[in-house]
Structure 1
Amino acid sequence: MFIQTEPTPNPNVLKFLPGRDVSPAAALEYRTVDEATASPLAEALFELEGVGGVFFGGDYVSVTREAQGPDWSEMKAPILGVIMDHFVSGQPLLRAGGGDQPEAAGEDSEVVAEIKALLDSRIRPAVAQDGGDILFDTFDEETGVLSLRMRGACAGCPSSSATLKAGVEQMMKHYVPEVTRVEQTL
Structure 2
Amino acid sequence: MTTMALEPGDAATWAGSAVALLMAVFAVWQQRQQNKGQAEADALARQQLDAAERRALTVEENLQRLIAELPTALQGLAQAQLATVPVRHAASVSWELTRPKKNMFVMRNTGTETGAGVKVDIGDHPAGLTRRLPEDAVVRAGESTEFMIMGAWGSPVPRELRVSWDGCDEPAVLPVPQ
With structure 1 as the length reference, what TM-score do the two structures score? Answer: 0.26
Larger radius of gyration: 2
Name which structure has the greater RCO, CA cutoff 8 Å, separation 6+.
1
With structure 2 as the length reference, what TM-score do the two structures score? Answer: 0.27
Q: Say which structure is richer in helix.
A: 2
